[in-house]
Amino acid sequence: MLPIQQVVAKIGLSWDDVEPYGTDKVKVPLSLFADTKKQKGKLVVVTAITPTPAGEGKTTTTLGLTDGLNLIGKDAVAVIRQPSLGPLFGRKGGGTGGGAATAEPATDINLHFTGDFHAIQSAHNFLAAMTENSVKNQEIENFHPEGISWRRVTDAEDRSLRNIIVGIGKTADGPTRQTGYDISAASEIMAIVALAQDYKDLRQRLESIVVGWTTTNTPVTARDVSAVGSMMVLLKDALKPNLVQTQEGNPVICHAGPFGNIAHGCSSIIADRLALQTSEIAVTEAGFGADLGFEKFMDIKVRQGGAEPSAAVLVATIKGLKWHGGIKQKELTTPNIEAVSAGASNLKYAVATVRRYGLPVVVAINRFPEDTAEEIRVLQDAAIEAGAAAAVEAKGFSEGGRGMTDLATKVVELLETDSADIRLMYQDNETIEEKITTLAKELYQADSVNWGPLTRTTARRFDKHGWKFPICVAKTHLSISADPKLLGAPQGHVFPVHEIRIAAGSQQIICLAGDIMTLPGLPRDPNAFEIDLNEDGSVVGLL
C-alpha cells in the first residue's frame, strides 16, 4: 500500500483537509465537496448478471477497472459499499474484492473500519428506545404499544431475533409487544446515510422516519418522539465518506452498505459526488444483479438526486451462465458450450435491462483459468446480440490493473463515443400499485401480481398520505423472479407481494416479495469457524 497521505494527494486534497483514522484510512469532511453541481468526471456504474453460488465479482471488477483506467492514463476513483459483519462471519465472506483487485486495508474495512456501521446501528436502536419511552409515558395521544412499527437491527446473522417479545418480566418497565430485528444493512437509517446530500438533508430525512401509527391511522415520526437531535450527533461522522486504496495505490471511496436484495444496495450519493469532483472517471458499484442493485441505483438513487451514470459495466462469468443453463455447482468447471448458450438468456436479459434505462454498456467477462475460448466466444456473441457495445475479458483478480487495460480502454471509448439517455422505469406521480405492477411485468417479466392480504389497502393508505416514493423491492437475489429456483430469464410467473412498508426517511416504499428474510441466519458451517487472531495480532481466516 501507498502511504495514505499520497492517496489523499491523488484526489487533490491536503493532509490537513482530512480526518485520519489510524495510518491507512481517512474520512473526508463534507465541506470539501459541498457543491452538488460541481462535477469534473463521468460516472460508470458496475452491475452484473443474476448472482450464482460461484460469485460474479462486481467489487473485484470495480477495483480492477479503476486500476486499469489509471494504468492507461486516466484519473479514476473507485466507489464501493462498506461490507457488513453478517455475511463476513456467515457464508458470503468479505466485501473488498479479491486477489490483485482488493481494497486495502482489507481486514479493517471488513471489520469495524471507521465505526460507521456501529453508529448507524446505535442511532437505529436508540430511536427504538425513544419510541417505546414515548409510549410508556403516554406522550402522544392514541399511540400505544401495538402501534409501534419500528424494529431494531443487529449486524449479526442471529435468526432467533427475527421475532421476539419485549417488555416482559418483573423488572421490565416498558410496553410489552411483539417485534423483531432486521440486519443492520437493511436499516432505514443505513439507506438514509446512503441517500442524504448533507447534514440538513440528513436531519429532514431522520425527522420523517415513521416509527408507528396511532389508533386513528396517523403516522408517528422520529421527530414526534424527540429523537432526531441525538441521532444527528450519533451519525455526525458516519455521513462523511471514507478514503482507502486499491492494492496498486489508487483511490477508493468506501461508504454506506445497504443490502441489494433487502434495501437499495448502493454506496452513497455523497461518495459518488466526491469521486466525480476529484477524478475524470468514477467507477461506482451497485448491489447484486441488474434486476436489483442496478434498478434501484436508477429508480431510487438517481431519482433522489444521485449523479446520472454515463455508461455501465456488466459483469458476467462463464460459471454463472452455466449455472443459469441448469448445471450444478460441482460441474461448473467442466467445459459445456450448450449450458453457456442456454444460460446466456440471463446475460441478454441483464444487458437489455441496462439498455432499457438508456445506458450504453460493456460486458466484463470475469475470467477464470478453466474458461475455454469457445465458451468465451458464445458469451461475447450473446452480449453483442443483446445490445452491448463489447464483451471484454477481465483479469483483475489474477493480474490487477494490467489485466484490466483492455476493458478500461473499451470503457473510455464508450464514454467518448456514446451517450446516455436516462429513462426511469416509472413516474413519481403513479400510485404504489401501478409502480409495483410495472416493475413486476416490465422488469421481472411476470404475467401477474399476487397481492397478499391488506397489501393493496396499505398501498392506497400510503398514497393518501402523499408518499410518492420509489419502490424498493425486497426479494431473492438468485432469480429475476421472486422464486430462487427459476434460473435464466424466466417469464410468465406470478409476482407475490407479501407486505408493504413505509420508509419515509429514505423516501422508499418497501415491497416484500416472496419469503425474503430481513435478518439472515448463520449457516451450518459459517466462516466464523475459520476466523481467529494470532498471538502477533494478525487476523487469519477472514479473507
Greatest CA separation found in the chain? 71
Return the pLDDT at 472: 97
Query: Does residue 537 lie within any of the structural domains?
Result: no
Return the pLDDT at 90: 86
227 in the same domain as 131: yes
Instruction: Supply the CATH number for residue 502's domain.
Output: 3.10.410.10
Query: Does residue 526 lie within any of the structural domains?
Result: no
pLDDT digits (tens, 9 = 90+) for 68-83: 999 999 999 999 999 9
Return the pLDDT at 504: 98
143-164 in b/e form (b: 16+ CB < 10 A) is bebebbebbbbbbbbeeebeee
Q: Which of 394, 417, 440 is the last residue of a domain?
A: 417
398 in the same domain as 296: yes
Report residue 367: phi and psi, to 5°. Answer: -85, 135
Q: Which of 178, 200, 234 is the last residue of a domain?
A: 234
Residues 315 and 61: beta-carbon distance below 8 Å: yes
Helix axes 199-208, 188-195, angle to 10 degrees: 150
Residues 6+ apart with CB under 8 A from 85: 111, 117, 155, 156
333 in the same domain as 370: yes
380 in the same domain as 244: yes
411 in the same domain as 457: no
Return the pLDDT at 36: 87
Domain that holds residue 198: 116-234
Instruction: Supply the CATH number for residue 364's domain.
Output: 3.40.50.300
247 in the same domain as 215: no
Give the dihedral of Cα atoms 129, 134, 140, 142; nearest 10 deg.
80
Ranges of residues in the chain with a pLDDT under 50 are: none
What angle is formed at CA 100 by the lines to CA 60 and CA 295, rounded to 5 degrees?
Answer: 5
Return the pLDDT at 103: 97
Residues 6+ apart with CB under 8 A from 16: none
Task: Tally the domains of the chain.
Answer: 3
Query: Does residue 530 lie within any of the structural domains?
Result: no
3-state DSSP assignment of residue 508: strand
What DSSP state is assigned to residue 82?
P
- E strand spans, 440-490: 446-451, 471-474
Burial of 232 (0-12, 13-18, 19+ CB in 10 A): middle
Residues 214 and 141: beta-carbon distance below 8 Å: yes
pTM: 0.95
What DSSP state is assigned to residue 502?
E
272 in the same domain as 152: no
